[in-house]
């Protein structure tokens, strides 16, 4: 799993769900530095969010034969799109995304529940599991969807994603041990693998 490189909004801590913004130069450099680690993997298929920040990360990391999967879009933050946690908490003291969710937004950002995001993660897992017999499947997407997908892979409820911090421009690997799902590596920055 690759989380896309830095964008202005991710750098500034703004919730970036469906707003389609590009990588910063720092984000592009980090994504390009993932290429050597990705090249060592036997990737048989790549699934990518439709967002340009994910597609560009995949391209710079050397993953060019992409299947665009709308289920890999980031959590739709609804009325919290573009806001920081501090801004949200000014109106909702103690607000915590994983517990309290989002409020509806406009037509482009109607918002999603964590259960809806979990259902999307389950669909992605159902699609890629059969391919794993042939080799590794790369998923290029966003922080919260990948965290929720990891929770679901491990058999946790979607809110279990809160346990897995995930930085931009990193690579993580899910695997098995004794036929049980495990995290093989997590949040590995460029050049560290």
pLDDT tens, residue by residue, 28-66? 999 999 999 999 998 999 999 999 999 999 999 999 899
Which CATH number goes with the domain that contains 42?
A: 3.40.50.1240
Q: Would you say residue 42 lies in a domain?
A: yes
The whole-number pLDDT of residue 192 equals 74
Is residue 74 among the annotated active site residues?
A: yes
Q: Would you say residue 59 lies in a domain?
A: yes
Structural domain containing residue 33:
2-110+157-188
Domain tally for the chain?
1
Q: Would you say residue 150 lies in a domain?
A: no
Q: Would you say residue 28 lies in a domain?
A: yes
Catalytic residue (choose from 74, 109, 112, 144)? 74
Percentage of the chain exceeding pLDDT 90: 96
Q: Would you say residue 29 lies in a domain?
A: yes
Q: Would you say residue 141 lies in a domain?
A: no
Q: Would you say residue 10 lies in a domain?
A: yes
Q: How far apart are CA 33 and CA 11, in angstroms?
A: 18
Q: Would you say residue 50 lies in a domain?
A: yes
The whole-number pLDDT of residue 191 equals 77
The whole-number pLDDT of residue 193 equals 57
């Amino acid at each position: 799993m690759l989380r896309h490189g830095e964008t202005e909004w991710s750098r500034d801590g703004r919730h970036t769900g469906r707003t389609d913004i590009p990588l910063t130069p720092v984000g592009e450099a980090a994504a390009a530095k993932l290429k050597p680690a990705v090249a060592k993997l036997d990737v048989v298929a790549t699934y990518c969010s439709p967002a340009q920040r994910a597609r560009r990360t995949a391209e710079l990391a050397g993953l060019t034969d992409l299947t665009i999967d709308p289920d890999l879009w980031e959590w739709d933050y609804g009325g919290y799109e573009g806001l920081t946690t501090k801004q949200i908490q000014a109106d909702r003291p103690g607000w915590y995304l994983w517990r309290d969710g989002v409020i509806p937004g406009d037509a482009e950002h109607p918002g999603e529940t964590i259960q809806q995001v979990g259902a999307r993660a389950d669909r992605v897992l159902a699609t890629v599991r059969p391919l794993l017999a042939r080799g590794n499947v790369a998923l290029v997407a966003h922080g919260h969807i990948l965290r929720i997908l990891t929770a679901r892979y491990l058999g946790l409820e979607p809110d279990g994603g809160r346990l897995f911090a995930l930085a931009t421009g990193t690579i993580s690997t899910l695997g098995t041990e004794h036929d049980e799902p495990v995290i093989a590596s997590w949040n590995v920055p460029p050049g560290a693998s």
